[in-house]
Structure 1
Amino acid sequence: MEKLPLWLTELEDADIAFIKQFLLASGSLKQVAKVYQISYPTVRARLDQLIEKIMASENKTDERYINLIRRLAIEEKIDFDAANLLIHAYRKEKEDG
């Protein structure tokens, strides 16, 4: 049996459910909006967030801390400016240490 790609294993259950609905709707964001009873722009934003998550997992570094910060920013638990500050501070500390 073929191993699942890394990006797929890192998605949450809600992400997988969204992807399933997207596929069942043949990629129609309007149909997905109807299923979830939310607006088209909300569905579009959710899809953009998933794309960012997948891209981030494909561009993984070996540093777990940086990956955690990126994931938190993509999931909107922290803003991108704060994420960049934390990553730059971490890298500077590592260089100086």
Structure 2
Amino acid sequence: MAVNPLMVVVLPVAYLLIGTFSLLQFSAILQLISQGAVKVRQMKQLAPIEPVVTTLVDYLTRIYGPLHKFTPQPTHVLLATIVVALVVNGMRRK
């Protein structure tokens, strides 16, 4: 099977971009969860689910630190890129 030299140059960059964008989406989701938890605490109608939301936010805060300050590091980007590359290449083999 012949390898296209252009793909050898373009694919790693594309994987890095996809990994970066997926981490930015993840960061936005963490911020939405954090802001949503504040809204749940303020609304009395949602009091039954407040313990679940509080537990989730506490758990995520222990893992990632303050959710509104999460910024992907280069290591995160590289790991996300590897996952994207494995998923894409695994789908091609099927």
Q: Same fold (TM over 0.5)?
A: no
Larger relative contact order (Cα-Cα within 8 Å, sequence gap ≥ 6): 2
Which has a greater percent of helix?
2
Which is greater in Rg? 2
